[in-house]
Amino acid sequence: MDLPPVGLGTMGIEDEAVVKTALDCGYRHLDTAQIYDNEGVVGAGIAVADTDRANLTVATKLWTDALGASAVRPETEDSLDRLGLDAVDLLYVHRPRGDYDPDTTLPAVEAVREAGLTEYVGLSNFDPDQLAVARDHLDAIAAHQAEFHPLYWRESLLADAQERGYPLVAYSPLAGGRVFEEQTIVDIAEAHEATPAAVSIAWVTSYDNVVTIPKASSQAHLEANLAAADLQLSDAEIQRIEAIEYEEELFPE
């Protein structure tokens, strides 16, 4: 998939006006999920915005209780009803847990794609071994979404995306706000007269095959996150961030 460097993560967004504002600011990739309980909000925001649907990538995710072979299609249709769309551009398996069985879940998701309810199939929160198994059942992995930020990232997932040529969609690029307290990030931000948020987004998007979906609600933060991808970090600065010694996974299993 050809995804923009910065999209909008919508977890926690409960106001359709935020979605409309994001689209007005230039966002063209919206990411939601069944478990966020806001597909209707995202759909309402799309409906009231002036953005041409053909220029927009809408992604949602099937939760772990929607992954049984007989549940995948009706659950997908329910998501589409809430979004007010005939199809999504990208449908993820949210986590390989619960009712997930690669032998039955993934063929059912492929059938949904073949029926035209989604253009692409993605995976989320898989490890490299699980990605390898999934490849045996899918026509292609169009994208893989994973936690990726300066305080937690998995080189093995980055390598898989780069070697296979699909986008790694990085969620929580600001580490839940923790990057504002990380001195390395703060120092680099001061050198660029930028914010730690901008440096974190610039670092994430500096890697080939990596895009990101930070959440924001105000117009100022929405615009700042979009602009952050244009911030150029030096190789030395990227390496300083890579060398941060501790990991802090926000969403462990």
Report residue 218 as tokens: 């105000």
Is the pTM value of this prediction over 0.95? yes
At 251 the pLDDT is: 86
What local confidence, expressed as pLDDT, does residue 127 receive?
97
Q: How many residues does the chain have?
A: 253
For the segment 185-202, the average pLDDT, to the nearest whole number, is 98
What integer pLDDT is reported at residue 203 of this predicted model?
98
The DSSP element (H or E) to which 16 belongs, if any, is helix 16-25
Q: What is the mean pLDDT of residues 121-147?
A: 97
- Condensed to tens digits (0 to 9), the pLDDT of residues 148-186 reads 999 999 999 999 999 999 999 999 999 999 999 999 999
Nearest-angstrom CA–CA distance, 73 and 67? 9
- Residue 10 is encoded by which pair of tokens? 């919508």
Closest CA to 46 of 75, 26, 11, 17: 17
Confidence of residue 252 (pLDDT cuts 50, 70, 90): confident
Residue 154 DSSP label: -
Residue 246: the pLDDT is: 76
Question: Do the beta carbons of residue 31 and residue 238 sit within 8 Å?
Answer: no
Mean per-residue pLDDT for 200-220? 98
Q: Which two tokens stand for residue 119?
A: 């253009």
Crossing angle of helices 196-205 and 235-242, rounded to 10°: 100
CB 125 within 8 A of CB 96: yes
Of the pLDDT bands very low, low, confident and very high (cuts 50, 70, 90), residue 234 is very high
pLDDT (tens digit per residue) in 102-112: 999 999 999 99
Residue 29's pLDDT is what?
98
Active-site position among 27, 36, 92, 171: 36
Q: What is the pLDDT of residue 103?
A: 98
Q: Catalytic residue at 120?
A: no
Average pLDDT, rounded, for the chain? 97
For the chain, what percent of residues have pLDDT higher than 70?
Answer: 100
Domains and CATH numbers, the chain: 8-242 (3.20.20.100)
pLDDT at 90 over 90: yes
Rounded to whole angstroms, the Cα distance separating 8 from 81 reads 21
* pLDDT for position 69: 98
Is the pLDDT score of 79 beyond 80?
yes
Mean pLDDT of 19-47: 98
Average pLDDT of 115-131? Answer: 98
Residue 252's φ and ψ, nearest 5 degrees, are: -70, 160
State residue 227 phi and psi, 5-degree precision.
-70, -25
* Cβ(141)–Cβ(121) below 8 Å: yes
- Whether the per-residue pLDDT at 222 is higher than 90: the answer is yes
